[in-house]
Amino acid sequence: MYVKIGKYNKKGERKVIVKIDNEDTWGAYLTLAHIIHPLLIELKKTKHGAPFTDDEDVPEGQNLRSTEAPPIKHTWDTDDNFFKRWDWIMDEIIWTFDQILKDDVYHDVESKEDYERVTNGLKLFGKYYFCLWD
């Protein structure tokens, strides 16, 4: 696999070169994880905002849900846990791809809890895919 993504030119275009070798498809999930994992780590470091997230996607009782924050004054305000929720979700997705990179998480799962956590992390990745912006 070879990936080269150039910078944007003055027209707002960028040159992207992707070369996929046959062996990259043998474990496509692992090939993709090699790109996704470091990209997510960098995104978390450089992000300047957060999307709206659902309370149901974070654990209860850890001061993450909007219902666990002080009431907001105006409907356009965000609650005190708004950014904490997104950080928690990002951490779960990053952890998931880290586990995948450790190799064959589905074939050699250490525990049922890890399997469920990886499955949830992949669900969150899909749900918030279009929220992966800086």
- The per-residue pLDDT for range 5-62, each reduced to its tens digit, is 999 999 999 999 999 999 999 989 999 999 999 999 999 999 999 999 999 999 999 9
pTM, rounded to two decimals: 0.89
DSSP H or E run through 14: strand 14-19
CA angle 7, 13, 14 (to 5 degrees): 35
